[in-house]
Structure 1
Amino acid sequence: MKIIGTVHDTETKKSIADVLVSVRDENIETVTDKDGNFTISVPDGVLILHFSKEGYQSKLYTLGRGKIQKINIELKNRTTHVEEVVIRSQKRKYRNKDNPAVALIRKVIENKGKNRFSSNQSVSFEEYEKIQFSLSNKYEKLLNNRLVKKYPFLKENIDTTKISGKAILPLYMEEMLSDNFHKFSPDKSKKTIKGEKKVTLSEDFFDNAGIGTYLKHIYQKIDIYDNNINLLTNQFLSPIAESAPTFYKFYIRDTVEVRDDKMINLSFVPRNKSDFLFSGNLLVSLDGSYAVQSVEMRINKNTNVNWVKEMDISQDFEKNENGKYQLIKSKISADFGLSKSSDGGIYGERTLTYKNYTVDKPFDSSVFSEDRTEVDGLAKVQDSMFWEKNRHENITDSEKKVYANIDKLQNTKSFKRTMNIVTLLFAGYLKASDYFEIGPFNTFYGFNPVEGFRLRFGGRTTQHFSKNIYLESYAAYGFKDERWKYYFGGTYSFSGKNRFTFPSKGINVSYQQDTKIPGQELQFIQEDNFLLSFKRGVNDKWLYNSIYRLEYYHEFLNHISYKIGYKNWKQMAAGGLVFSDDTTGTNISDVTTSEIYTEFRWAPHEEFYQGKLYRLPLPNRHPVFTVRAAMGMNNFLKGDHNYKKINVNIYKRFYLSQLGFSDVVIEGGYLFGKVPYPLLDIHRANQTYSYQLQSYNLMNFLEFVSDHYASIQYEHTFNGFIFNKIPLLKKLKFREYISFKMLYGGLRDENTPTGNQNGIMKFPTDEYGQTTTYSLEKEPYMEGSVGIGNIFKFFRVDLVRRFSYLDNPNVSKSGIRVRFKFDF
């Protein structure tokens, strides 16, 4: 479509030179000549031209449908003629009362429900999604980048049109075209992917599914009508939230006309620039609906977020046949860097466009009969003709080249060597061959009171060895106890993919002979990590374990999963720990259990970063339910005890808008049967100097045991809400944490050593014969903490205080704990 036109001044009628004429997000632009004339060609489907020049009010113009159009545009000069200047000694304060901008935004808020799809409606549409990740820098510096200089063919991929004053080098690109169906009552949705194209990174170093999931988690879909917007793992308050007038300042800028509808341009800024808020502009319809026609907003530079130099969000809406505005485009772009003043960084962008809306047309019931997302058999093999025809918007030449150039880059030997080093530094594994890698290196050296100096060596197979079979093994030796420890495990996947590719299904088989601290349960970290060798207080009660395990696991697309397994576990006392009968004092050589167990887990809408051989959950607002049950069998494969166990755990994150978020864990368990204390619930303790979320950080190892218990753990992250209000502290961008943990439990008489029951194992004692393991009959165990996080962007320091059982021997009433934490 060809557009020919002239631009004049509204008042003087003189032509205006050097006016920028552009199409938003299409990299199509021109400027008027000395006579105000211009010519521009735009793709079919483009509806709006943008006119801007310094000193003039910008203007949006809605195009017609002809192939060639001639238009005349008038721009209004921003110059204001002042007849009289009055100087006042006192500035006029911003107020909500009698403020027309606030009155307007309250109208927008009041009518939000009318401008969204209602609960009794259904809608379908076609969605096009594009995600891009690139290196960014000034053009000259990007040309001198080590990667570009080493691989000159990447120069042709540099794009100078995305960011003003900067260039980007695309390294990752993903496109998706899908048909979507949504029914609001009951809430059901279905996505059918018709086309999917992405840069395929080497599986030796990257997990493609994990990268895509993590990028979408950072650039989550935005609904401006929601009160809160999840972004960068944080929650920002929408400018049209119910509480927006409390946190934002609003100003009416001007009135514009879009598609024959009058709109008010309403700008907004945070009252506190460090809070999780936006700055930007809203176009609000004056047709009585008070609907949002478009929004452009950005994260304020002083907002308490890490690594983000700039982040911009824009959304455009179009009036449908029912007179309501429906979303037609949403774009999030961000420039990341080590500091906000640095030139170099990473540029990321996610664009979503929508077409072919149908509203209130009934769906066939079969639409929702299968999984929420399905992939057409041809989706991943669609050719270039398909994408040229079906993309909602054109992509740049550099974006088109990224697929081939990155594939070429990954096949170079020098790049593979570099990635091997990066994998060693960040994952702790070193590639020994195509089939095996050595690690993790942070476990190769350690020390403890039982083993003394400990050396370990191990590794695991890669996906080149087999996509169905995964093997892992290690051997370790303690120079004090002079004993070998070892582990060998294998997984066979029935899904034809590796163990961690969702949804997974397979069998695990393993045997382990090693040491363990009773009551130490760690998440996402090896127990023999070198840094965990440093512990406080007395730490001499250990176990030698010999464990055989056979387990079947099965995950479903709806995020329901279960496990069924068998475990044969032989425990022998080590260090200062002694197994002895409470009545006779006779030493007991070991405790052996033979048990079957099962676990049921439901994590609706769960998101996680899925690596090659690990999986890390990405918290969201949905709860996670886990139920575990086990049954011990006496006289079966050397099992010594009959018992039954059940445990229930519920985790939920609550987002509280500007106040941050709270994590709540509720847990309870019950054991049926008479068992020695190593088979009771030994509550999670922590004697390291690291702060552990799921453990009791001032409880000693093996300090408390129960055969029935209930607990609640609460932690709140303020995200700087308090410190942002303190002038001297807000520049440091610290974040505040508080936590409280309470555990209540007990022991039935049959499991309590009293000296008059046969077969009851005596509780552990210290070197003076004083008991060091207790039940929780007296009162709940309680501890709390206050913490400061985001120190140097990585560290959190907590002051932890213990509130009960303060007279127990060798306990710490308070302490300082440190946690390494990467956050945006």
Structure 2
Amino acid sequence: MRYSLFFCFSLFTLSVLAQTKASGEVFDSNGEPVPFANVILEGSTVGTITNEEGRFYVESDNNYDALTVSFVGFETQRFVLEKRSNYNLKITLKEEENSLSEVIIYQGKTSKKNNPAIDILKKIWENRRENGVKKFKQYQYDKYEKLEFDLNTIDSTLIESRIFNGMEFIFEETDTNNITGKTYLPIFINEESSKIFGDNTLNEEKKDLLGNKNSGFSNNQNLIAFIKDLYADYDVYDNYIKFFDKSFTSPLSKTGVGVYNYVLSDSAYIDNKWCYNIVYYPRRKNELTFKGDFWVNDSTWAIKDINLRVSKSANINWVKEVYIEQEFDVLNDSTFLITRDYFMSDFSFRKKEEARGIYGKRTTLYDNYKFDIKKPKDFYDNEVDPFNEAIYNRDDAFWHNKRQEALNKDEKGVYKMLDTLKTVKAFKRLYDIGTILATGYIDYDGWDYGPVFSTFGYNTVEGLRVRFGGRTYGTLNDLWRFQGYGAYGFKDNQFKYGVSGKVLLDRKSRLILSAGNRRDIEQLGASLTNSTDVLGRSLASSSLITVGSNDRLSSINLTNVAIEFEPKKNFSFRTDFTYKTLKSASPTFSLDYFIDEARTQIASELQQAEISTKLSYTPGRKTTGYGVERTLINEGEYANVFLNYTLGVKNLIDSDFDYQKVQLFYRQPWKIGGIGRMTTTLEAGKTYGEVPLALLSVVPGNQTLFSIFNSFPLLNFYEFVTDTYTSFHLEHNFNGRFFSRIPLIRDLNLREIVGVRGVYGTLSDENRALDASGIFLQAPDLEPYYEYSFGVGNIFRIFRLDFHFRGNYFNNTDARSFGVTGAFGFSF
């Protein structure tokens, strides 16, 4: 009872603070909802546009007595606001005389010819580079960014839920969202102050982070980085606006006339500049488009104000609504610069109006612009800086000076509320569960058990396999890390283990020394470019179901010592020394090879010492953390170039072979505007010298029912073996571009995926003669082997099915001409 009274009192207090609130629906004379109607607080520029169901919500801190509702083809309606808070209003618009044709045009497809709105749009295209920081050679400005997450649709059912037992006090901080009109509870806030420097002649930009502060998660840089990556920077003048790993067609795009309807709605003076108002909305459902309006100046053709709202029918998961608003100011009567950027998203499992979810809100403010102050090129190159804890512990005086707008009452309350919440046991339990699901580890005061998802496994040799392991973990910025595991197979009755350690010797150059040892069962040939990571993922124990029998597993004893450093951001150099012992792990599989010229003596175990040098370049990669390990936050979004040279040294610690191996790996993702996302991968390699099967390059087959990156789903393990190879993979996800145009199917939000992969390789006669395994060694040297596939993604928003077809080599033993693989995954 006490909390209910306080809750009601809090709502009353908040309603007094927000001076004018109004929500409702707009209908025509037939009772049909009117989408995209303008709703303005009379005497102001504060307003909104009705959604597809004709609903609206508008709010201001000032007092207003009336709403003005307008829509092309209808008479403007003035609606008197009798109270400060006016909810569930029903507003009916009357059609203008002789304007039926206008209504039909506006609600359907507008003409592309003789349309004044499109004439204005063409002026915007012509002048887009004459506005913003791109107009100048160099630029710099202050940037303040505020991120906030809120639990929305707060009702009595949620408040009384058992999950919040002991945490009821948090509901004292509820408020109403000024876009949707829903009640929400702030649960997270992060502030950042930085200085941005840029050079358009060098195509370089640098960010100098000055301060960072958040509620209750001061050291959780992973969480901060993940949230910030969701809201990547964008430019409304670009043809495509990219966020949530999707490319949305901008209403200012040169391709916009093909996907949007445009209507010249109004004109007025804004800040003493005559501006036109253009309303836009999608021509078709399910496409990645927006609806909204923008004001554009009549002389510079620069955007003064724009808002963008993602349609609920857009093919995007877990997001019910997205609202973007940007404001621009004029510089020297000629150039418009962005001053405020507001981005709000409503994350939810369902897209129904009443569905509960989480608001993600980002407010970015820009100030103190300066231009044509040249900096040397090395100023931009020097990006790798040591972690400075002071940045994350700035005092109140710093934030008072750096905030370009003060925190409101609710935002201040989040800091206090989260500090209190961290002391509540119920919250700690929820936080621990979330951490386990996100990281796969259970925290035990400096030691993490896990990965928990690797505790049980199965393979032909070991049968049921049990694994226990863990790692040291103090903070994300630990300078050293030790980890290990032990495993036992109930079929082979053998114990396996792995241990490794690494230490960061210098933060700036990221000089790292590492070493480790592993004795385990492994599936060799799972990839062409193998990693020397001692505790890398073992394919042998990761699948419970396989296609056909797989007993071609190896027993490996691997010791590795490595040193690596990063002379330039995202460019790393690594040198390894590796010593390994390899033999078959199954009586039905052999790695035997001849050890004499007469080919009469056979060895079943290989001992080999290797020295390798690896160069890796990953432009565009984003990481978080300054410790010995860093967390990747934009996986799959950056290119990766990898070059490896390996030298095998005979007689070094009884090593068996002399050889050299060169390998190249290049992966490139491509976002191709409105037609989806493509990923291409090229691999090439050559081994110089005579080596046995265990040291050859096995074309990676896949005998599981799950999709595995850069493998061939219709190849069996060891079906192709090479010493020289070139491999190419291409996959394109159309993001539902074609399914969205098919009635009934488009409501499922499915996504089309096509792929093709091929490999060409050879195997020398000398290496064939050295082999005594009894396996028929074949290389794809008659013609390149290839496969192609068609897939359907986003099934129930979490599952993908791929249908694979073999293109040739149908006469190979146990050749599979058709197969199906699937994968689970979270994606927007």
The TM-score bracket by the shorter chain reads 0.7 to 0.9
Asked whether the equivalents of residues 459 and 543 of structure 2 are also in contact (C-alpha less than 8 Å), the reply is no
Change (3 A) 1:214 1:719: same
User: 1:395 Cα shift?
Assistant: 1.6
1:776 is the counterpart of 2:780 = yes
Note the 1:3-402 alignment, pairs <5 A: 19=42, 28-32=60-64, 82=96, 94-118=110-134, 121-141=137-157, 143-144=159-160, 146=162, 148-201=164-217, 208-287=220-299, 289-321=300-332, 323-341=334-352, 342-363=354-375, 367-368=379-380, 370-371=382-383, 379-402=391-414
The correspondence for 2:619, drawn from 604, 611, 629, is 604
Answer with 446-455 or 375-384: which moved more: 375-384
| Pick aligned residue for 1:509 from 507, 511, 515 | 515
Q: Indicate conservation of the 8 Å contact 2:164/2:426, yes or no.
A: no
Contact 1:610 1:616 in 2 (8 A): no
Report if the CA contact (8 A) 2:77-2:93 is conserved.
no
Give the aligned residue type for 1:590: E
Report the secondary structure of 1:533's partner residue.
coil
Partner residue, 1:10 = none
1:807 aligns with 2:793: no
Q: In the alignment, is residue 420 of structure 1 matched against residue 426 of structure 2?
A: no
- The answer to whether 1:818 aligns with 2:828 is no
Structure 1: runs of 5+ lacking an equivalent: 5-16, 37-50, 60-76, 497-501, 754-759, 766-770
Q: Deviations for 1:489-533, whole angstroms, at most 9, x for unmatched residues?
A: 22223357xxxxx98542222111111122124999843686513
Q: Of residues 714, 739, 744 in structure 1, which corresponds to 2:730?
A: 714
- 2: CA distance between counterparts of 1:86 and 1:282? 25
2:253 maps to amino acid: A
Corresponding residue number in structure 2 for 1:71: none
Matched with 2:658 is 642
The structure-2 alpha-carbon separation of the partners of 1:87 and 1:167, relative to structure 1 and needing over 3 Å to count, comes to closer
Q: Give SS of 1:541's match.
A: coil
* Equivalent-residue separation in structure 2 for 1:96 and 1:799 (angstroms): 41
Q: Is the 8 A contact 2:706 2:822 kept in 1?
A: yes
Q: For residues 99 and 592 of structure 1, do their structure 2 counterparts lie closer, same or farther at Cα, with a shift above 3 Å needed?
A: same
Point out the more displaced range, 730-739 or 418-427: 418-427
- The C-alpha deviation readout for 1:452-491, integer Å capped at 9, x for no partner, is 2323222222227993332222222223222221112222
Change in Cα spacing, 1:649 to 1:84, as seen in structure 2 (3 Å) is closer
Q: Which residue of 2 aligns with 1:72?
A: none
**Structure 2 residues not aligned, in runs of 5+:** 1-18, 20-39, 49-57, 80-90
Equivalent position amino acid for 2:692 in 1: P
Q: SS where residue 191 of structure 1 aligns? A: strand
Instruction: Write the letter of the residue equivalent to 1:29.
Output: D
The answer to whether the aligner puts 1:588 opposite 2:603 as a matched pair is yes
Q: 1:529-608 maps to which residues of 2 (within 5 A)?
A: 532-555=543-566, 558-575=569-586, 576-581=588-593, 584=599, 586-608=601-623
Q: Does the Cα contact within 8 Å between 1:23 and 1:29 map onto a contact in 2? A: no
3-state SS, counterpart of residue 176 of structure 2: coil
1:450 to partner: Cα distance: 1.5
Instruction: Give distance in 1, aligned partners of 2:494 and 2:577.
Output: 27
- Partner letter of residue 572 of structure 1? K
Alpha carbons of structure 1 residues 373 and 222: separation in structure 2 relative to 1, 3 Å: farther
For residue 725 of structure 1, what is the amino acid of its counterpart?
Answer: R
Query: Alpha-carbon deviation of 1:199?
Result: 2.8
| 1:737 CA displacement | 0.3
How far is 1:80 from its partner? 7.3
Instruction: State the Cα distance separating 1:27 from its structure 2 match.
Output: 7.3
2:306 alignment partner AA: V
Cα deviation per residue 1:535-555 (whole Å; 9 max; x = unaligned)?
A: 111311111111111122324
CA distance in 2, matches of 1:366, 1:542: 50
Query: Quick check: 581-590 or 173-182, which moved more?
Result: 581-590
Cα distance change of structure 1 residues 585 and 727 upon mapping to structure 2, 3 Å threshold = farther
1:78 is displaced (CA, Å) by 11
Offset at 1:793? 0.4
- Structure 2 distance, partners of 1:285, 1:150, is 54
**Does residue 437 of the first structure (1) align with residue 448 of the second (2)?**
yes
Aligned-residue offset at 1:586: 4.2
Compared CA separation, residues 643 and 354, structure 1 to 2 (3 A): same
Letter in 2 for 1:600: L
Q: Please report the TM-score for the alignment, with normalisation by the length of structure 2.
A: 0.84
SS in structure 2 of the partner of residue 318 of structure 1: strand
CA distance 1:180–1:573, change in 2 (3 Å): same
Q: Is 1:210–1:611's contact at 8 Å kept on the other side of the alignment?
A: no
Cα deviation, residue 803, structure 1: 0.9
Seen in structure 2, the aligned counterparts of structure 1 residues 97 and 569 have a Cα distance that, compared at 3 Å, is: same
Equivalent residues of 1:217, 1:233 under 8 A apart: no
Secondary structure in 1 aligned to 2:547? coil
Q: Is the 8 A contact 2:579 2:608 kept in 1?
A: yes
C-alpha distance in 1, partners of 2:378/2:92? Answer: 58
Is contact 2:347–2:359 with CA below 8 Å preserved after alignment? Answer: yes
Q: Structure 2 CA distance, aligned partners of 1:79 and 1:646?
A: 73
Offset at residue 413 of structure 1 (A): 3.3
Paired residue secondary structure (2:143): strand
How many residue pairs match? The answer is 753
Choose which of 415, 420, 424 in structure 2 pairs with 1:408.
420
* 1:201–1:407 CA contact under 8 A, matched in 2: no
CA distance in 2, matches of 1:96, 1:763: 70
Cα offsets for 1:90-110 (capped at 9, x unmatched): 988632122222222122223
* Alpha-carbon distance in structure 2 between the residues aligned to 1:577 and 1:730: 49
Evaluate the alpha carbon distance shift between residue 742 and residue 351 of structure 1 in structure 2; reply closer, same or farther with a 3 A threshold. Answer: same
TM-score normalised over the length of structure 1? 0.84
What displacement does 1:636 show? 0.5
* Matching residue within 762, 771, 775 for 2:772: 762
Aligned to 1:64: none
Equivalent pair of 1:548/1:569 in contact (CA under 8 Å) = yes
The amino acid of 1:299's aligned partner reads: V
Provide the identity percentage. 27
> Contact conserved, 1:622 with 1:652, CA < 8 A, in 2?
yes
Deviation at 1:679, TM superposition (A): 0.5
* Cα distance in 1 for residues equivalent to 2:384 and 2:457: 47
Larger displacement relative to structure 2 (389-398 or 688-697):
389-398
Indicate conservation of the 8 Å contact 2:763/2:778, yes or no: no
Residues of 1 paired with 2:218 and 2:388: CA distance?
24
**Structure 1 residues 548 and 348, CA, compared in 2 at 3 Å: closer, same or farther?**
same
Match of 1:624 among 615, 633, 640: 640
CA contact (8 A) 1:517 1:543 kept: yes
From the superposition, tell whether residues 429 and 190 of structure 1 become closer, same or farther in structure 2 (CA, over 3 Å): closer
Please give the per-residue CA displacement for 1:28-54, whole angstroms capped at 9, x wherever unaligned.
523346xx8xxxxxxxxxxxxxx8568
